[in-house]
Amino acid sequence: MSTVYRVTPPPENPELAGGVLAIDLKALADNWRFMADKAAPATCAATVKADAYGLGLEPVVTTLWAAGCRTFFVALPHEGAALREILPEAVIYVLDGLLQGQAAYYGEHSLRPALASLDEIREWADYCQTQQARLPAAVHVDTGISRLGLSEAEVRSLAESSALLGAFRVTLVMSHLACGDEPGHEMNEIQRKRFDVLRAMLPDAPASLANSPGTFLGEGFGYDLVRPGIALYGGNPFASRPNPMKPVVSLYAPILQLRSLAEGETVGYGATWKASRPSRIAILGAGYADGYLRSLSWPANDGPAQVCIGGSYAPVVGRVSMDTICVDVTDVDEDFLQRGVRAEIMGAHITVDEVAKWAGTIAYEILTSLGMRYTRLYAPADS
């Protein structure tokens, strides 16, 4: 039998941490209210998988519940069980569907699987019959993303099986947009039309198609329920439009050491950056073990990546290491260049989407990659 060991928690004292992750719960609540207003008359749920996108499940969901959110989406059943302990009355859907052999776990924690195959549906129906109860679940149909979801042929087969459909309650019919972050993309309308065809075959139930960007696509995409994720946490829901959301996350790392380099000296592994002038370099206490991705190394993607110290921007130079990054502070006011001063890696001056651009990725990956060594500080929603 395998042994389960406890994970070392981050220090509560920020002075003992390599970095500080500050989360503005008021901005989070404001973002949900903004999305709820956009979605009306549809209901606005919240996607809180992956520990609420790395920001902490309990503070995030209690804030959203206080703001008025009553329906939540997680990826895995153990995430749903943790959420159930925090919010006993919440409606909780599991996006990864019904894991094989685990129907009783879902039932024990009052979780609603997003059933994405006939095998899952049969297993959930069998479990419902053993419990002598028509338990709720979503039916997840594929409209073109070719990921999770029933095909049209499977939907037709399900529609013809009164025994399966009679065994449980369909409380949601859902699908997922492939190109919602590109409002003019033809796939959006293609998927909307396919969704209408497929849901018409199934029992009358609330429908959901829109994620964060889908919520902005207009009435035809809102249906009965929207389920934003990244937008709640301050990420831009669009690929090429200004971000309408409030920033939620700020990330700071301390200056561990300051160094003076002569022209021609190099920085970091591989000596990939060479000083073109006499330079001042600050070594910051965060690295790829903390979720500051190695792809942010000099020169980065459309970079260099930047941090902010005392209101001035400083480029990341050399390679990102496991525990440290180096930045060129030659042009930063000397008054701010002291050991222990915290540099802003992400926040008011540097958005999560800018960090994602420099890393050649998306805001989702940046947020969910933030490591466990940060002290997390939460500004309350009622501050």
Q: Render pLDDT for 22-34 as a digit per residue (tens, 0 to 9).
A: 999 999 999 999 9
- The mean predicted confidence, pLDDT, of the chain is 94
Q: Which of 38, 49, 252, 378 is catalytic?
A: 49
**pLDDT digits 0-9 by tens, 155-186:** 999 999 999 999 999 999 999 999 999 988 99
Residue 12 has pLDDT above 80, yes or no: no
The per-residue pLDDT for 68 is 97
Per the residue annotation, which of 26, 193, 223, 269 is the catalytic one?
269
Average pLDDT over residues 346-355: 95
The third-level CATH classification (topology) of the domain covering 249-379 is: Lyase, Ornithine Decarboxylase; Chain A, domain 1 (2.40.37)
Locate 296 and state its tokens: 């942010």
Amino acid 11: pLDDT = 74
Closest alpha carbon to 62 in 109, 38, 29, 21:
29
- Is residue 1 very low, low, confident or very high in pLDDT (cuts 50, 70, 90)? low
Measured distance CA(9)–CA(14) in Å, rounded: 13
Domain 25-233 has CATH 3.40.640.10: no
Alpha-carbon distance of 95 to 306, in angstroms, equals: 36
Q: In 68-161, which residue ranges form alpha helices assigned H by DSSP?
A: 77-86, 103-108, 118-131, 152-159
Q: What is the pLDDT, as a whole number, of residue 372?
A: 84
Tokens describing residue 163: 């025994």
Angstrom CA distances, 222 to 177, 207, 211, 376, stand at 12, 9, 9, 34
Check residue 383 and give its pLDDT. Answer: 58
130-148 pLDDT, tens per residue?
999 999 999 999 999 999 9
- Distance CA(43)–CA(35), nearest Å, equals 10
Sheet with strand 71-74: strands edge to edge? 46-47, 71-74, 91-94, 112-115, 136-140, 169-174, 207-208
Domain boundaries, the chain: 25-233, 249-379
pLDDT at 359: 97
CA separation for the pair 181, 252 (Å, rounded): 29
Does pLDDT of 5 surpass 80? Answer: no
Q: What does pTM read for this prediction? A: 0.93
> Which pLDDT score, from 0 to 100, does residue 102 have?
97
Specify whether 26 is catalytic: no
Using an 8 Å Cβ cutoff, are 108 and 131 in contact?
no
Rounded Cα–Cα distance for residues 57 and 209 (Å): 24
Q: What is the DSSP letter of 252?
A: E
Most confident of 5-9, 130-134, 369-373: 130-134
Is residue 36 classed exposed, middle or buried when 0-12, 13-18 and 19+ CB atoms within 10 A define those classes? Answer: buried
- Respond yes or no: is residue 269 known to be catalytic: yes
